[in-house]
Amino acid sequence: MLAASPAMTNVDSALRSAAANRPATQGFPHLAETLRRAGVRTNTWWLPSMQSVYDTELGCVVVQSPALFDGMADVPDFDRAALIEALRTDQAGQTTFPQFALAAWRAGVLRWVVDLDHRTCTYFGSGDQVYVEQYAAVELSVT
């Protein structure tokens, strides 16, 4: 295991704070605002590997979570309606993050990029397919 850098410590602290203070619904805007306040500029997720990169004021941090599956698979066709359904289900607090990631993969998402300054999340399929969603600004009760 690598020694924790200031960037790693900062991202870990922000993720822990966001998890501890996550509301039952619309949790993502709270997570995003917590990360933004911690100096994260963008967050990119790659599916199905579940690798995430946080570009922060202190440097870039990569987090490797367990992959959605092992082995080889066809990339699903991009299905905008299925992605939007997965987003709305997650926003309603009806899924865990791993469940949302799996639903996004099944909807043909290969990666997404969260721009924390512009409050957008851009989802990319295997070709030119892109879906951009803006998320709401929120006030955090915990700093």
CATH class of 6-134: alpha beta
The single-letter DSSP state of residue 74 is P
Alpha helix segments (H runs only) across 3-63: 6-20, 27-37
Tokens matching residue 89:
């289900």
- pTM, to two decimals: 0.91
Average pLDDT, the chain: 93
Which residues sit opposite 115 in a β-bridge? Answer: 42, 120
Cα separation, 42 vs 36, in Å, equals 9
Classify residue 109 as exposed, middle or buried by CB count within 10 Å of its CB (0-12, 13-18, 19+): buried
Which residues sit opposite 64 in a β-bridge? Answer: 51
Q: Are 121 and 113 in contact (CB under 8 A)?
A: yes
Q: Which residues contact 123 (CB under 8 A, 6 or more apart)?
A: 83, 104, 109, 111, 112, 130, 131, 132, 133
Residue 114 pLDDT level (bands cut at 50, 70, 90): very high
Q: Are 136 and 91 in contact (CB under 8 A)?
A: no
pLDDT at 139: 84
Higher pLDDT, 14 or 22: 14
pLDDT at 1: 57
